[in-house]
Amino acid sequence: MIMILTQARVKEGTTIYATSISNSWHGSKVLINEVMPEIVEFKARFTSLQINDDVSGESQQLTQMTQGSSLMSEQEKFLYKAAVKSISEINALKEDATIVTIGIIGNFVVGKSGWYYLSCSNCFKKSESNIAYRCSCGTYNENLIPRYKLEAKVYHGKDSANFIFWDRDCTCLIGKSALKLRDLMIECGEDDPKIFPEPLDDTLARTLAYRAKYQVAYNSISVSKVSDDAEFIKVLKEQMCCNEVIRYLTIHEMNDYFLLTCVFPACISN
């Protein structure tokens, strides 16, 4: 697929943000596989370089682009306006931030409410009652729906932090809804949310990427997206290593460098 975007705004990437391209005020046009001299010439260059101009996936990709939706890739959405930080850097944060990080889910934190909460059937809001009630969203709830809210300790190297995982991500990771899992427990004569059933263990010991919101006031890390894409995790890992090196250079090596080059220049020449 060859796409031309006219009048585009390009924002250069940094160590924290990926390069982004967006439309400009009313002026942008997207041309996809147009028959025009520039594209014909561009395609001809691919032939001479013997690079496979793969068109087999075109129609599939195009149907995935629904009108009006963002043209950002899943990874760009994952990273959008977020800072890539290691868990040790997150633990040092002094203000609210949207962060992207990686780590291994080590163990669950039982807490006060266990692994699920009862909610309105429409809006995911925690139920105000244990019996039938009308939610503030207007829905009359005959039956309350269990939803995942799982607190777990996530490790990266020697550092760790407690992350809160919500219904959608847990359902993906575990492969079962909280309702289904709670029903399985009830079949075994148990419905205490502080008893963690075995299928929850499927989330453990996996290295994942997380997009999350850190809030100082609650000292909490609330996960909004999870990815198990190995390539993406590798890229994030490399980026975090770069951050660590920059920090180390700033504090220690820059100081040494200054001493060597400005205070004791003779040390270098010898």
Using DSSP, state whether 82 is helix, strand or coil.
coil
Among 21, 123, 254, 260, binds Zn ion (CB under 5 A): 123
| Options 2-10, 127-135, 210-218, 227-235: segment touching Zn ion (CB under 5 A) | 127-135
Which is closer to Zn ion, CB of 110 or CB of 137? 137
Which is closer to Zn ion, CB of 125 or CB of 153? 125
Which is closer to Zn ion, CB of 137 or CB of 249? 137
Q: Is 122 in the site for Zn ion (CB under 5 A)?
A: yes
- Identify the DSSP state of 128: S
The amino acid sitting at 266 is: A
| Options 31-39, 56-64, 76-84, 115-123: segment touching Zn ion (CB under 5 A) | 115-123
Using DSSP, state whether 253 is helix, strand or coil.
helix
Using DSSP, state whether 234 is helix, strand or coil.
helix
Using DSSP, state whether 16 is helix, strand or coil.
coil
Which is closer to Zn ion, CB of 147 or CB of 182? 147
Rounded to an integer, what is the distance from CA 144 to the centroid of its chain?
A: 30
Query: Please, which of residues 29-88 interact with Zn ion by CB under 5 A?
Result: none
Question: Residues touching Zn ion: how many (CB under 5 A)?
Answer: 7
| Options 30-38, 120-128, 198-206, 208-216: segment touching Zn ion (CB under 5 A) | 120-128
Q: Is 241 in the site for Zn ion (CB under 5 A)?
A: no
SS (H, E, C) 176-192: CCHHHHHHHHHHCCCCC
- The answer to whether the CB of 237 falls within 8 A of the CB of 102 is yes
Least separation, in Å, of the C-beta of 138 and Zn ion?
A: 7
Nearest Cα neighbor of 223 from 99, 90, 76 is: 99
Among 31, 71, 137, 230, binds Zn ion (CB under 5 A): 137
Least separation, in Å, of the C-beta of 144 and Zn ion?
A: 11
Least separation, in Å, of the C-beta of 120 and Zn ion?
A: 3
Which is closer to Zn ion, CB of 58 or CB of 128? 128
Among 120, 161, 173, 209, binds Zn ion (CB under 5 A): 120
Q: φ, ψ for residue 132 (rounded to 5)?
A: -55, 140
Which residues lie below 8 Å from residue 249, measured CB to CB, with a gap of 6+?
none
- The answer to whether the CB of 25 falls within 8 A of the CB of 87 is no
Residues that bind Zn ion (CB under 5 A): 120, 122-123, 125, 135, 137, 139
